[in-house]
Structure 1
Amino acid sequence: MIFPRPLLDILRESPESPVIEHGNRVVSRGELLELIGRLAGAMLGAGLGPGVAVAVRTALTPEALAAHVAAHVLGCRVVCVRPGYSAGQLAHVLDTDVAAVLVDASTAAPELAWSGALLSLGPCPGAVDLLASPAGGVPDVLARPDDVALLTFTSGSTGRPKGCAVTYRAMSGHWTWQPRAWSPLAAELAKGFERYLLFGTLASMVVLEFLGLCLLGGGVAVIPEDDGRPLFPHALRRHRITGSILTVPRLCAMLDLLREDPDAAGGTPRALVVAGSPLPPARLAEAVERLGPVVYQGYGQTEANLISMLTPADIAAAPSAALDSVGRVRAGVEISIRDAAGREVGLGQEGEIFVRTTCQMTGYWGQPEENRDVLRDGMLRTRDLGRLDADGLLRLTGRARDVIIVNAMVVYAGPVERALASHPDVAEAYVAGAPDDRTGEAVHAFVVPVAGRSPDREELAALVRAELGGDAVPRTVTELSAVPVAASGKPDKQALLRLL
């Protein structure tokens, strides 16, 4: 069944049931379906349709969600615009054959610098207000399987964001958007996401995929209003949240708050999925201890979606083995661990991770040379290093590109970070390289200590030297109360280097 028809079918069932809570506003399934129909009709009247690109730059609202779905109903290519782009990045994202830009009152800012067709969700100067259109039925799904459904962008941490093109065929085979084909893991998570804390941006693929589990499982997406307190853990209790995704920095900040105030915990979480960057085993163990058997750790990429998942059952069965892994490869994912020559290695051996999924991108938009490098015989080169052990657990060991060249020797940041994080006084560890007159580049470490402690620098150096050799020993170690976070929600290593 072609995407997004399964969602429309779910919304037609029990139209009086709530589907979105936004502050004090409750939107029913029937109301959301009516809104999708109204916006789809207005977009069609504005010239949008199969294969036409519309860039969506909006706040997170029920209308924004309806607009995304309406554009997909018409078979448009939805160009996802993340918040926080610089003017140059924004111009780069919009330079993708975009026919129209959709904004709202909060995002129609001067830096948009867009002279083409402008659509809006509500009155905006110079824009066609789609919400002013009369109500109408939802048109038939016009999407064509091989058209691009989504152009969703990488974080842009290395410069310009890369647009990952995902077709309607891929979205129709997505692990979350076809409930009739859900794996046991998807069904388990859908039950946990009965009340999904929806925050961030719909321009994020990971937000969209877990939103699919919530909506198609009959759940309610809860969009919280800012009350000045940290979202986690306070919103979990306030909104009776059962499921959410969160980044590693958000989880670590929540754990720090709970250490100071254990009574702040509450709510009824059943599934908290941590994703975006590796989670130190000690922090994962602390999360399980404080929050219970509700913590999942997901590993994936914008280019491939979810690749593997560590579940509470995995952790309970073998905590010592599971805590430093990213779980088991998801059903429907083919994985290959390869050496530098492209040859597959055996179980337990380290290499670069290649995957093939039903919902992976067809390529980066307008980057044929990059595509030839990253797509090999239908498999996607993740540029992550890891190994698949005999117990079925996937372990990440570093980034193929996250390297520091010290004395002409390659030092991978990931193993250094893990060595530092194994010290009992270290809660989190991050490593980055910077130019150095003596060694070409030097390793610089940034650690978040366990509360009330300060790790001994010599002990940290000895740990790294014993495990990885002298070239990997950090030139400097900087203590932080918390790691700076980029717009993507991941640790910002460029910001770390600016602290030197």
Structure 2
Amino acid sequence: MRAREAGPFPRAVLDALDAAADRPVFEHGTRLVTGAAMLDLVARVAAGLRAEGLGPGDGVALLLGVHPEAFATILAAHAVGARVVGVRPGLPDAQVRHLLGLDVAAVVTDSGTAHVPRADTARAPRALTVDALRAAHPGTGPLRLAGRPADVARLIHTSGSTGTPKACAQTYAALTAGWAARPGAWPPAIRDLAPRLRRHLVFGTLSSQVMFEYAVLAIAAGGTAVVADDPALPGAITRHRATGSVITVPRLAKLVAAQRRDPADLSTLRALVVSGSPLTPDRHREALEVLGPVVFHGYGQTETGMISMATPADPPGSVGVPPPAVAVEVRDARGAPVPPGVDGELFVRTPAQAVAYWADPERSAEVFADGWVRTRDLGRRDAEGRLHLTGRTRDVVIVNANLHYAGPIERVLAEHPDVAEAYVVAVPDDDTGEAVHAFVVPTAGRPPDPAALRALVTARLGAACAPARVTAIAEPPLAPSGKPDKRLLSTPHVRRKP
């Protein structure tokens, strides 16, 4: 089934599948799915959704694993013009109920026995399965694309690290303007990255904006999305002969440590796209030294999509130069732009950014204004235009009524040779109101000396920023998104370093 007529998203993705024809675009175990077979699967699921009366403006939630049918179902739901709500595995039932309550008409699962918490609404969405939908006959002729430019195409929820995840609303116009499936729109860093994704690992959930879009990029670049049912590294790379993967900072740190202890054969690896949180310059440099010129350091938000990306040729610690299609302003506390080299808050505009938080006008007004997205990230641009991230506006410790950002403290701590990762939180203090509590992951065999860490921070940032308490941990707790979740650091389940 071919999609030849001009149309909105996912037209560019369907065209990439059409161009692939008999080439495998998805690999799951011993199963290979060609571009033509994927197009047929998309058309069948779309016909099934239409037979259920679902179309433009209808909310369709997807609770699916990582497999070719999940990829096809995402595309099919967009083909009928639905508002797609992806639900990551591992979310608490309360968060799932909240997401299913976002005006959802139907829920698609892998099987009829999948656990679906009841939505926080009076009317429960109807339950559908991929197997039932794909049994529909797609008819003849090109696949009709029904997405309307101003309609919300998908709700991508944030990590939920500050509580209930926010649903970022992207329109069909925004998704159509996205770069992943359109080689002519690839920014310079993506043009460097794309050919390295010949065998690109996908895992976790295709409801992840990052996981889905880099799978699309791999296919558009002539590669194959390879499902890693066990994504543990380095095993997944060697087992699947992978050339590329998305990776979080904690997983990258584990891989670097493993390669130092007992190097695996990573000769097929060409690209690791670091996503989710920033790398310190030292950890960035170490990853390049141990793994070779394969580290791409991406920066973006759920609200914006990709903002910039550092290639292996960029200086460690930066997140690269934003492409021409992306506008970035570094502003001071009054909202005025600041010159290069000066820290401030980052405001951005991207072609595919969200327009609001769904059904949340108050928080939308705080972040989306006059076409700009307020990132709440702190950073600066250097003389060459590269972005450097320095912290978060709300990630602070207030000592003696003076505000101190956690990001700079974490970076100084991570510079110590005995510290692999550092995470700073505020704790109550009878004398100063709040004080710094540092959680550190030691480097192999060298537990850090708290006094030395305090002295380092004091010398660089002042005594108020020095950690009153230092706790060694084996690893940071993670949110379902794979990002470190600092809210959980003080809970009993965090593994202390023996």
1:197-236 matches, cutoff 5 A: 197-226=201-230, 231-236=232-237
Contact in 1 for aligned 2:341/2:383 (Cα 8 Å): yes
Q: 1:107 to 1:332 in 2, by over 3 A?
A: farther
Q: CA deviation at 1:207?
A: 1.2
Q: 1:458 to 1:107 in 2, by over 3 A?
A: farther
- The 2-side partners of 1:94 and 1:148 are apart by 16
Q: CA deviation at 1:107?
A: 7.4
1:51-450 matches, cutoff 5 A: 51-105=57-111, 108-109=114-115, 111-112=117-118, 115-122=124-131, 129-137=132-140, 139-226=143-230, 231-262=232-263, 264-314=264-314, 322-450=315-443
Tell me whether 207-216 or 159-168 shows the greater mean CA deviation: 207-216
Q: CA deviation at 1:267?
A: 4.0
Tell me whether 457-466 or 159-168 shows the greater mean CA deviation: 457-466
Q: CA deviation at 1:419?
A: 0.9
- The 1-side partners of 2:89 and 2:433 are apart by 36
Match of 1:109, as an amino acid? H
Q: CA deviation at 1:7?
A: 1.6
SS class of match (1:13)? helix
Partner of 1:318: none
Deviation beyond 6 Å, 4+ runs, structure 1: none
Contact in 2 for aligned 1:309/1:328 (Cα 8 Å): yes
SS class of match (1:225)? coil
SS class of match (1:159)? coil
Contact in 2 for aligned 1:351/1:386 (Cα 8 Å): yes
SS class of match (1:69)? helix
Q: CA deviation at 1:278?
A: 1.4
- The 2-side partners of 1:14 and 1:482 are apart by 42
Q: 1:327 to 1:106 in 2, by over 3 A?
A: farther
Contact in 2 for aligned 1:433/1:444 (Cα 8 Å): yes
- The 1-side partners of 2:178 and 2:19 are apart by 22
Which ranges in structure 1 are unaligned for 5 or more consecutive residues?
Answer: 123-128, 315-321
- The 1-side partners of 2:290 and 2:457 are apart by 30
Q: 1:332 to 1:299 in 2, by over 3 A?
A: same
Q: CA deviation at 1:391?
A: 2.4
Q: CA deviation at 1:14?
A: 4.5
Partner of 1:458: 451
Percent of residue pairs bearing the same amino acid type: 51
Contact in 2 for aligned 1:75/1:149 (Cα 8 Å): yes
Contact in 1 for aligned 2:202/2:225 (Cα 8 Å): yes
Q: CA deviation at 1:115?
A: 2.9
Partner of 1:317: none
Task: Figure out how many residues of one structure are paired with residues of the other and give that number.
Answer: 483
Contact in 1 for aligned 2:112/2:129 (Cα 8 Å): no
Partner of 1:126: none
Partner of 2:4: none
Tell me whether 393-402 or 428-437 shows the greater mean CA deviation: 428-437
Deviations 1:33-65 (A, max 9, x none): 111111000000101111111011111111111
| TM-score (structure 1 length as normaliser) | 0.93
Partner of 2:3: none
SS class of match (2:117)? helix
Q: CA deviation at 1:454?
A: 1.9
Match of 2:309, as an amino acid? M
Equivalent residue for 1:7, pick from 13, 36, 45:
13
Q: 1:107 to 1:193 in 2, by over 3 A?
A: farther
Contact in 1 for aligned 2:438/2:471 (Cα 8 Å): yes
Q: 1:391 to 1:110 in 2, by over 3 A?
A: closer
| TM-score (structure 2 length as normaliser) | 0.93
Match of 1:488, as an amino acid? S
Q: CA deviation at 1:135?
A: 5.0
Deviations 1:365-409 (A, max 9, x none): 011111211122211100001111112221111100111112211
Aligned-CA RMSD value: 1.7
Q: CA deviation at 1:339?
A: 0.7
Match of 1:249, as an amino acid? P
Match of 1:186, as an amino acid? I
Contact in 1 for aligned 2:44/2:135 (Cα 8 Å): no
Q: CA deviation at 1:225?
A: 2.8
- The answer on 1:481 being equivalent to 2:474 is yes
- The 2-side partners of 1:63 and 1:51 are apart by 23
Contact in 2 for aligned 1:352/1:400 (Cα 8 Å): yes
Tell me whether 85-94 or 436-445 shows the greater mean CA deviation: 436-445
Q: 1:142 to 1:22 in 2, by over 3 A?
A: same
Q: 1:72 to 1:8 in 2, by over 3 A?
A: same
Contact in 2 for aligned 1:3/1:177 (Cα 8 Å): no
Contact in 1 for aligned 2:297/2:309 (Cα 8 Å): yes
Match of 1:162, as an amino acid? K
- The 2-side partners of 1:471 and 1:235 are apart by 44
Which ranges in structure 2 are unaligned for 5 or more consecutive residues?
Answer: 1-6
Tell me whether 9-18 or 387-396 shows the greater mean CA deviation: 9-18
